[in-house]
């Protein structure tokens, strides 16, 4: 038989062994989880575009801490306009949305409160001037837009309405990503859009006039950065940027960019178009910035579609356009008697069917938002 001391020692040994096994199991359970996926919206941290670190080895890391939800971020809407253009929608949306202010620049009237040193470079002159003049007092988010409320280059599912885009824009997404092109649709601009070093390519020169001068312009703007093989992002110079990303570029560099715009002999349209396809590189370090359209809509505006439904919508839209064109051709034919009886009626019915399916897809994406 075991003595009392032996029994006590054995019990103590068993307790220690059990505790050790428990701690080991807990350790493996806590470290054996699947790694968390990195959101595709996170952008690589960048440094000043003129630095060699940026050119040779831009960091691939990003801030792992998501922004707090429902934070009352301050926002400024920066608008470039001509005297003849109506930007009254800006005042209306500012009155509607708390934490939103505006800065409307009239580029062809030097006597207004907000104007520019010279009416050159289209909206780029306004954007750079605003950043230079407000570099130390930026809002959390700055939204850069044109003056037109309804325009073709806005988002189809938001009624092409600038006010709707500002209203639905997700602050958390802009803060997390740092930069967001406000247009979700790829065309024109994505993918594989401009090849700066291939200035002799006929298609580029014919269809994209800025391609002929982009390489030389790049070398003057960013002398320490290699000219990218391709530059792409959705058109047309409207985007939102966090204050943090704006300030990753120094004030002196912004001044030098505006000086280039003031001094360049390029035509106004061309110099503006040069900047249209380098904003994404300036703020993200990415020469190609073409997020999936459904991702842009969902993360950027809260308008979420099933990807296959989204593709079907545009296929049906193309089908509808083709049918309507055929109907117009038939109706304009000299001899309408040759048209088979009921053919146009059948085609009209098909258009109605496609429109109904398209409306169902549209409503599914917009069910959680109010335009």
Q: Could you read off the pLDDT of 324-346 as tens digits, one per residue?
A: 999 888 888 766 666 777 888 99
Query: Which token pair is 353?
Result: 């069917």
Last-in-domain residue among 291, 320, 352: 291
Q: Is residue 186 located within the same domain as residue 134?
A: yes
Q: How far apart are CA 178 and CA 176, in angstroms?
A: 6
Query: Same domain, yes or no, for 166 and 258?
Result: yes
Q: What is the mean pLDDT of the chain?
A: 83
Element (H, E) at 49: none
Shared domain for 257 and 320, answered yes or no, is: no
The confidence band for 95, taking pLDDT boundaries of 50, 70 and 90, is: very high
**Which pLDDT score is estimated for 7?**
42
Q: How far is residue 100 CA from its own chain's centroid?
A: 19
Say how far apart CA 369 and CA 310 lie, in whole Å.
Answer: 17
Peptide bond into 270 cis (omega under 30): no
Note the pLDDT of residue 362. 96
Assigned domain for 242 exists: yes
Is residue 25 in some structural domain? no
Q: Say what the pLDDT of residue 36 is.
A: 30
338 and 191 part of one domain:
no
- On whether residue 4 sits in a domain, the answer given is no
Pair (234, 343) in one structural domain = no
Give the other-Cβ count within 10 Å of 18's Cβ: 10
pLDDT value of position 147: 98
Q: Name the percent of the chain lying above pLDDT 90.
A: 69
> What tens digit of pLDDT does each residue of 278-316 get?
999 999 999 999 999 999 999 999 999 999 999 999 999
Q: Which two tokens stand for residue 164?
A: 């709707």
| Residue 278 and residue 330 share a domain | no
Whether residue 41 lies inside any domain: the answer is no
Residue 70 token pair: 């429902």
Residue 168 and residue 155 in contact, taking contact as beta carbons nearer than 8 Å: no
- C-alpha 225/C-alpha 354 separation (Å) is 49
Both 120 and 96 in one domain: the answer is: yes
CA distance 117 to 261: 10
| 168 belongs to a structural domain | yes
Final residue belonging to a domain, choices 239, 256, 291 = 291
Largest distance between two CA atoms of the chain: 118
Would 45 be classed as within a structural domain?
Answer: no
Using CA atoms, how far residue 137 sits from 95, 130, 131, 203, 317, in Å, is 21, 11, 9, 43, 45
DSSP for residue 338: G
Q: What is the mean pLDDT of residues 100-105?
A: 98
| Structural domain range at position 360 | 307-366
Q: Which of 39-43, 77-81, 310-314 shows the lowest per-residue confidence on average (mean pLDDT)?
A: 39-43
Entry pTM: 0.80
Same domain, 218 and 271: yes
Tens of pLDDT along 236-288?
999 999 999 999 999 999 999 999 999 999 999 999 999 999 999 999 999 99
CB 180 within 8 A of CB 240: yes
Dihedral pair phi/psi, residue 104, rounded to 5°: -100, 115
Q: Is residue 111 part of a domain?
A: yes
In terms of domains, do 254 and 354 share one?
Answer: no
Of the three residues 238, 258, 291, the one that is the final residue of a domain is 291
pLDDT of residue 121: 96
> What's the domain count of the chain?
2
Phi first, then psi, for residue 320 (nearest 5°) are -60, -45
Q: Nearest 5°: CA angle at 185, between 187 and 147?
A: 95
Looking at residue 43, its pLDDT comes to: 37
Measured CA to CA, the distance from residue 242 to residue 138 in angstroms comes to 9
Question: Do 147 and 226 lie in a common domain?
Answer: yes
pLDDT tens column, 171-226 = 999 999 999 999 999 999 999 989 987 654 555 555 677 778 899 999 999 999 99
Residue 351 placed within a domain:
yes
pLDDT at residue 199, rounded to an integer: 55
Residues 111 and 257 in one domain: yes
Q: 67 vs 5, 72, 304, 340, CA distance in Å? A: 60, 11, 21, 63
Q: How far is it, in rounded angstroms, from Cα 34 to Cα 42?
A: 20
Q: Which residue has the higher pLDDT, 195 or 103?
A: 103
Residue 88 has pLDDT above 80, yes or no: yes
Is there a single domain that holds both residue 322 and residue 238?
no
**Residues 138-155: pLDDT tens digits?**
999 999 999 999 999 999
């Amino acid at each position: 038989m075991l003595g009392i001391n032996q029994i006590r020692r054995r019990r103590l040994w068993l307790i220690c062994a059990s505790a050790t096994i428990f701690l080991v199991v807990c350790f493996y359970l806590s470290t054996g989880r699947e790694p968390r996926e990195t959101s595709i919206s996170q952008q690589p941290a960048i440094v000043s575009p003129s630095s060699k670190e940026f050119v040779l080895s831009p960091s691939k890391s990003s801030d792992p801490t998501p922004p707090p939800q429902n934070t009352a971020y301050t926002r400024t809407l920066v608008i470039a306009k001509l005297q003849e253009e109506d930007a009254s929608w800006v005042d209306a949306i500012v009155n509607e949305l708390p934490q939103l202010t505006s800065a409307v620049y009239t580029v062809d009237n030097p006597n207004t409160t907000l104007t520019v040193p010279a009416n050159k470079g289209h909206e780029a002159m306004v954007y750079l001037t605003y950043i230079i003049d407000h570099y130390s007092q930026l809002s959390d988010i700055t939204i850069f837009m044109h003056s037109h409320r309804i325009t073709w280059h806005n988002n189809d599912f938001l009624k092409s309405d600038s006010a709707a885009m500002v209203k639905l824009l997700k602050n958390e997404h802009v803060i997390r990503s740092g930069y967001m092109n406000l247009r979700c649709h790829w065309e024109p601009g994505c993918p594989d859009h401009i090849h700066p070093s291939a200035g002799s390519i006929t298609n580029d020169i014919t269809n994209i006039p800025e391609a002929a001068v982009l390489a030389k312009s790049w070398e003057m703007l960013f002398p320490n950065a290699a000219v990218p093989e391709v530059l792409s992002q959705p058109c047309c110079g409207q985007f939102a940027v966090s204050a943090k990303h704006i300030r990753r570029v120094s004030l002196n560099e912004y001044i030098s960019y505006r000086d280039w715009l003031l001094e360049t002999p390029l035509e106004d349209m061309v110099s503006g178009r040069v900047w249209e396809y380098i904003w994404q590189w300036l703020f993200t370090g990415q020469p190609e910035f073409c997020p999936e359209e459904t991702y842009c809509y969902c993360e950027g505006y809260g308008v979420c579609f099933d990807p296959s439904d989204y593709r079907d919508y545009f296929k049906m839209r193309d089908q509808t356009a083709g049918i309507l064109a055929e109907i117009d051709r038939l109706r304009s034919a000299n001899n309408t008697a040759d048209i088979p009886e009921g053919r146009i009626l059948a085609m009209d019915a098909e258009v109605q069917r496609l429109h109904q399916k398209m409306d169902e897809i549209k409503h599914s994406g917009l069910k959680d938002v109010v335009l």
